[in-house]
Amino acid sequence: MPTTVKDIAKQLNLSTSTVCYALNGGPRTVTEEVRRRVLEKAKELDYRPNRLARSLVKGSTHTIGVVPPSTETNVFLSPFVQLAWNAIVNEAENSGQDILLFAAKNLNSPNEPGLGLLDGRIDGVIFIAPMLNAGPIMSVTERGLPFASICSSPDAPGIHMTADNAQGIRQAVGHLVELGHSRIAHVAGPPDSPDGRIRIEAFKDSMREFGLPIPAWYIEQNSFTRVFGYEAALRLLRLKNRPTAVVAANDEVATGVCIAAREIGLDVPGDLSVVGFDDTEMASLFFPALTTVQQPIGEMAAAALRVVTRLAARKNGVKSVCFPTKLVVRASTARAKQGALR
């Protein structure tokens, strides 16, 4: 039988409440001598605290839930998700929090109530890139569970840690225009993604600001995957008046575009310039190394964990943050060939 608080109290001739106060550091104080005796006896008897019981007493589980973008196979192979998850885990270790991953069902669906988030296992929750109108966000808002979102719609409830997507796309388009490109296509993310929606609108706005045409067939929209980038690029690059540059929704899409270009005999960046978004590790390791828009994914994720922890502790002073982006120029962009200049 495992050792209990009562066993320690009996051996030391103390009340169970005094032992609890010594083990938990409160809420009432005990003398340093009593605390020392209790801790020594607990170690001698191999006492292991019941975390559930402690959470009931303290009203806190010291556990933060994390909802991934989806529960599709291999979602954690996404470089974006890896960076966000790694930063959350690192920050949790620094702050003494446990992390509970919710992966049994897709909590990004508008029709999913997300009741599992409200069963008392967690003090708060982080949503990684939630889709528009995700049902669980409304549920936790109504029930008052502390939460924050990474890369969510600025119009959604709660605290948001986002990058300035519009700024990033303007930087990407502006870079390509400076290189002489006028036929610029956009391979966009899914329409139900806040980031994807903002980036496609920012692309259209930027093209209009530079007085450049936006043929409908120069915009492909579907997902943030390499496969989609590859398939979309094959369609774009087989057009009679094909684009000379592509702004991709993220680095995964950008690598798919580059692979498709090489497959049909085009050189990157000689025949096609490509700009990604995120600046994940693959951007610098890919060949050619990707010019991309850097968003501080790790910083946003760590900030989200800190915010939720503060909210769970009923502390004030938390607010949404929009992080600036930065264009990182590498080898996948070059000046447009003379015949492609406007």
**Closest Cα partner for 36 from 18, 22, 20?**
22
Q: How confident is the model at residue 182 (pLDDT cuts 50, 70, 90)?
A: very high
pLDDT of the residue at 229:
98
Please give the pLDDT value at position 133. 84
Q: Give the residue from 214, 335, 178, 199 showing the smallest Cα distance to 276.
A: 199
At residue 67, the pLDDT reads 95
Q: Determine the pLDDT at residue 20.
A: 80
Long-range contacts, stretch 106-112, CB < 8 angstroms, 24+ apart: 106/70, 106/71, 106/72, 107/67, 107/134, 107/135, 107/136, 108/67, 108/69, 108/70, 108/134, 108/136, 109/134, 109/135, 110/134, 110/135, 111/135, 112/136
Between these two residues, 49 and 278, which has the higher pLDDT value?
278
Q: What is the pLDDT of residue 55?
A: 53
Q: Which fold has domain 5-58?
A: 434 Repressor (Amino-terminal Domain) (1.10.260)
Average pLDDT over residues 185-213: 96
Mean pLDDT of 64-85: 92
Mean pLDDT (whole number) for 148-157: 92
Q: Spell out a b/e string for 312-334, using b for 16 or more CB atoms within 10 Å of the CB, else e.
A: beeeeebeebebebebbebebbb
Q: Predicted confidence band at 112 (pLDDT cuts at 50, 70, 90)?
A: confident
User: Which of 12-21, 188-197, 257-266 has the largest mean confidence?
Assistant: 257-266
**Is residue 340's pLDDT more than 60?**
no
Q: What is the pLDDT of residue 108?
A: 83
**Quick check: 56 pLDDT over 70?**
no
Q: Is the model more confident about 328 or about 116?
A: 328
Superfamily of domain 63-163+297-323: Response regulator (3.40.50.2300)
How many angstroms separate the CA atoms of 35 and 335, rounded?
72
User: Is the bond preceding residue 269 a cis peptide, omega within 30 degrees?
Assistant: yes
The CATH label, of 3.40.50.720, 3.30.160.270, 3.30.360.10, 3.40.50.2300, for the domain at 165-295+327-340 is 3.40.50.2300
pLDDT digits (tens, 9 = 90+) for 91-104: 999 998 999 999 88
Residue 295: pLDDT over 90: yes
pLDDT tens profile 319-331: 999 999 999 999 9
Q: Do 63-163+297-323 and 165-295+327-340 come out as alike in CATH topology?
A: yes
Q: In this predicted structure, what is the pLDDT of residue 91?
A: 97
**Confidence at residue 53, expressed as pLDDT on a 0 to 100 scale:** 52
Q: How far apart are the first and last CA of the chain?
A: 81
Query: Mean pLDDT in the chain?
Result: 91
Confidence of residue 342 (pLDDT cuts 50, 70, 90): very low
**Domain residues of the chain, as ranges?**
5-58, 63-163+297-323, 165-295+327-340
pLDDT at 228 over 80: yes
Look at residue 52 and tell me whether its pLDDT is greater than 80: no
- Identify the pLDDT of residue 322: 97
pLDDT band of 45, cuts 50, 70, 90: confident
Q: Does residue 296 surpass a pLDDT of 60?
A: yes
Average pLDDT of the segment spanning 7-11: 88
- Residues 254-278 have a mean pLDDT of 98
pLDDT of residue 270: 97
Per-residue pLDDT, 58: 54
The two three-digit tokens of residue 194, written as one number:
């806040």
